[in-house]
Amino acid sequence: MTDDQRTAALWEQAKNALLRRVARTDDAGRAEALAAFVGMARPDLGAEAVRVVAETTPRLLPSLTEKWIGLFVDRLFETVPLPQIEMLCDGTEENEAALALAYVMFLESERMEKQMAEDLAAVNLPAGEGGGDLAADVCRRLAMVEEKRRQDSWQKAEAYKAARGKAN
């Protein structure tokens, strides 16, 4: 096997390992991870609102996932020596997790934040699948959650006031 063939095979191996890892995240695990992230980023929302945001966040288009993984693997091969890449691609769970962690860190880079924003803005979804419909649904559901929270607070205050009145 030539060096070019070896490099190409490793490139595919790294890409496929990351694609498998992304694909094996089921909807429940995905919603749980999103809820944890949103809850940490916006603790003011409350548990029910966080759940709504997590449940309504759409999956990424597979083409974007593949593109971003490809950009990461390209950058990996530009910056990491081949023997280390071979180690990351040895098929062990620990090294696959390290590869996935490096990918997540890559996604958090300033370069990728810009790239992701450009890619997401360029996606033209057909009517009924666009962000406007989704945003309207999320806003409606969040308004319902907020109204329920307000009603619960009001009922709690009334109950407290009534209990306090009986004590006097």
pLDDT (tens digit, 9 = 90+) per residue, 29-70? 777 777 787 777 777 877 887 777 777 777 777 888 899 999
Q: For the whole model, what pTM was predicted?
A: 0.62
pLDDT (tens digit, 9 = 90+) per residue, 84-140? 999 999 989 999 989 988 998 898 888 988 898 888 778 765 445 555 565 556 556
Query: Could you write out the DSSP letters of every residue in 71-125?
Result: HHHHHHHHHS-HHHHHHHTSS-HHHHHHHHHHHHHHHTSHHHHHHHHHHHHH--P
